[in-house]
Chains A and B, each alone.
Chain A
Amino acid sequence: GAGVSQSPSNKVTEKGKDVELRCDPISGHTALYWYRQSLGQGLEFLIYFQGNSAPDKSGLPSDRFSAERTGGSVSTLTIQRTQQEDSAVYLCASSLAEAARGDTIYFGEGSWLTVV
């Protein structure tokens, strides 16, 4: 597609429920990132996928968080047993292959998650 597409754009869920957030990267982009932006906070790295390499999961805050990327394209971020502190904007981004250090990463508009 023309840009990084995320869905849903807004999600309100009850504490304890599971949620899935979806990201469609730009066609041809092999690198995909998930970040979290909490109210008044900066960008918190969650996970990074690059081609067929093992993902960098070092930013996932707990084992309730997981992500997968199927077929090297679409990615799903899953949060199990949501807590109120999970409320944030979840941003997905993609970029071209890692060979070029200066590649721009392109962000989606984010999925606003509110846990009540």
Chain B
Amino acid sequence: GNSVTQMEGPVTLSEEAFLTINCTYTATGYPSLFWYVQYPGEGLQLLLKATKADDKGSNKGFEATYRKETTSFHLEKGSVQVSDSAVYFCALKSGGYQKVTFGTGTKLQVIP
């Protein structure tokens, strides 16, 4: 079956530090990959996505590249801000079967 593994949190960084949150997956077929973000007190929302190998999703300074050879979709940002403090979820959706599988989430705390 499908599964998503992401790095354990919480992750605490100083403002302007570089961020990487690792995500690897196992899937049948050829999945689409997503990062969702949940800000404090808010609902989940899509951050970025990629639907085929070598695609790079990007939004709000965050990037993730779909690496089929390593089955990974690591989230990166060059310079984090306090406002990036949130829980980040990696997710996948397999073609032909639309149940979305989420990782356990990684809490990011950015301190001034």
Contacts and interface: CB of A to CB of B under 8 A. Distances in A.
Given A104-B46, A109-B43, A110-B43, A45 B89 contact: no
Given A42-B105, A101-B32, A104-B49, A56 B99 contact: yes
A50 B44 contact: no
B interface, size bucket = 20 to 34
Contacts of A48: 98-99
A109 B45 CA distance: 10
B93 A101 contact: yes
A101 B99 contact: no
Contacts of B46: 104-106
B93 A91 contact: no
Q: In the complex, which range does the number of interface residues on chain A fall in? A: 20 to 34
A49 to B, nearest CB: 10
A1 interface: no
A50 B98 contact: yes
Contacts of B99: 33, 45, 48, 56
Given A95-B98, A101-B93, A107-B36, 6 more contacts: A42-B104, A43-B44, A102-B32, A104-B49, A107-B44, A109-B42
Give the 6 A-B CB pairs with smallest separation, nearest first: A42-B104, A102-B51, A43-B102, A109-B43, A107-B44, A101-B95
